[in-house]
Chain A
Amino acid sequence: MQSFQQDCVELALEKFRRGEISRRGLMAGLAALGAAAALPDPAQAQAAQRLVMVNWGGIANQGFGNNYGKPFEAANPGVTVVQDSTGPSAGRIRSMVESGRVTWDLCDSSATSAFLLGGMNLLNPVDYSVVDRANVIGPTFALEHGAAPYSFSSVLVYDSSKFATAPTGWADFWDLQKFPGTRLLRRDAAGALDAAQMALGKDIASLYPLDIRACLAKVREIRRSLVFWTSGSESEQFIRTGEAVMGQIWHTRAKVLEAESNGRFKFIWNQGILQPGIFVSPRGNPGGALAQRLLASMLANAAGQVELLKLMGNGPTNPNAAALVPEEFKKYNPTEPANARVQVAQDGRWWGQNYAQANADYIDMVTG
């Protein structure tokens, strides 16, 4: 609803346009109303048509901007998509929605956060009349409160100069006799416990639900030989500097290590934990339903997803994308059919229900 003050501003502007008052007079009048800042300028005229995407920094600004934002801007004249790299942690999204001053439209989040925040009614449900479920390769990529235009995987990386034979899966990760040396895990239950469950020998086709207690005990077994990472760059550093000889890290970092070390550090797709890069939309987002259309376009744009794979290594999730991936990038694409086949799709729903408790227990065990 328009306030009185806004009406005054409007009137003054009309007078200015008709030449009844000078520019100086207009500004003085607006200043008196405390409304000079509310003067509509070209940038603000578009404000209603502006969408804010939030990522975690690095080259994501460029990657997401060029491959998600630009195509949408081109298809929808008058809309601008801006990138923000503040890092949309679940806690930040919660405080933003609860304070009632939401400035974000689409956030690069995760399946667990989508379930966690969605369960607290802090997210817009994905409108599947706008977003097409057929645009993703599997059900774990299209959730109730978020959808994934890219994927990533937690893979086993190892220092090939340290071992005569190559490890082939998580059972080898736990085998300190055959593969001696420090291990590297993320300080996060999601990923680590999935691997532990595989090391326990459970059939990969029916990996979930995980037996949390048994998995935690399995990690505890090798606790003295573990170091933990909390950020991607840290994980790379641990392997590069020889702090750990085997680790579970994101495939994007594993690729960098392999390329930089001329193959000394290798990684395997086998038993990798394939995860969706879920984008969520905070409830009460400024761009409203337009955010759903942006999400839909991100999922539909196979070519853009392939460009992102080339730039940052994020795996495409559009079923048509695999055919567009150039030969030299197939090896590093987590959703390349040959690679996806040997991995496990992480069950975001199970994790969403169990994450808070399992992760607290995991951290207790790690720090104990």
Chain B
Amino acid sequence: MIRRQDAGWWLLILPAFLLMTAFYVAPIAQVLAISFTEPTPGLGNYERLFTSDSVQRVIITTLRICLITTALSLLLGYVLSYRIALSSPSAQRWWILAVLVPLWISVLVRAFAWVTLLRRQGLVNETLMATGVITEPLALVWNEFGIIVGMVHYMVPYAVLPMLASMREIDPRLLAAARGLGASRFTIFGRIFLPLSLPGLLAAGLLVFIFSLGFYITPALLGGGRTLMVAEWIGLQILDLLRWGLGTMMATMLVVAILTTLAVFARVVDLRRIFGGGA
């Protein structure tokens, strides 16, 4: 039973709750409902998940890019966080600044910057050709490689922040004690540091993966029109092809995929702790 003073607290969030329902949940539900009503009422759009090659291809491409992006961002992010967590407090400030600065630069600017670097006559190809490493320019952009480079670059700060937070909570005396007991550096890392930083790693993975699923600008700019991810595909269906049923079906699947990912992770780790609530 809710006690009287608890009910008071619930009343406090009631306006926010109503606002969210009226202006966020209800319109989204309305849009998602189109997937069941267009072009004919029924599950026709969802049937395409199993019958249409193009729908399946978009989903597989998106999942592949997201998984690779997540893996690479975690790897780079982990190394970075490890380095930051073990450095002196003043050095830490500079490190964190260096991680955060790219986060504040517009995603559009960063995508264009990668284009200038990676294109046929870009800095990377020109340098490699001038030094004689290659004779023909490499295809570094307008393909999945380019998309992944751009996305990893965007995602690394999002991977670093939760991991760093969790690494900072690790008691350095544990590491010292292990060393004192004669453990090798690999043992210390593998049996103490890594397990203790695992919640941060999972949180970062979750954050990066969910972010990647809905990525729009970077794939659109670096994919050269040839690699379609889910978000751009939905935009195409809704804005240009007017197949709203199909577009909203995919949007529904995106929401479902995100909620499922969250639900699965919630069983494995304590989400409230990861996202900083109810510590």
Contact = CB atoms under 8 A, between A and B. Distances in A.
Interface residues of A, number: 25
A152 to B, nearest CB: 18
Contacts of B119: 241, 243
B238 to A, nearest CB: 5
A364 B57 CA distance: 9
Contacts of B225: 187, 227-230, 366
A180 to B, nearest CB: 12
Nearest to A94: B242
Contacts of A226: 226
Contacts of A49: none
Contact of A364 (B53, B120, B238, B240): B53
Contacts of B40: none
Contacts of B239: 89-92
A25 interface: no
Q: Assign chain B's interface to a size class.
A: 20 to 34
Contacts of B61: 367
A227 B244 CA distance: 27
A34 interface: no
B121 interface: yes
B217 interface: no
Contacts of A360: 54, 241, 243
A226 B241 CA distance: 23
Interface in B108-166: 119-121, 142
B220 interface: yes
Contacts of B220: 230
A222 B226 CA distance: 13
A89 B227 contact: no
Q: Which 4 A-B pairs have the closest CB atoms?
A: A228-B225, A91-B239, A187-B225, A364-B54
Interface of A: 89-92, 94, 116-117, 120, 187, 226-230, 241-243, 356, 359-360, 363-364, 366-368
27 contacts: A89-B239, A89-B240, A90-B240, A90-B242, A91-B238, A91-B239, A91-B242, A116-B242, A120-B242, A227-B224, A227-B225, A228-B224, A228-B225, A230-B225, A241-B120, A242-B121, A243-B119, A356-B241, A360-B54, A363-B236, A364-B54, A364-B57, A366-B225, A366-B226, A367-B61, A367-B228, A368-B57
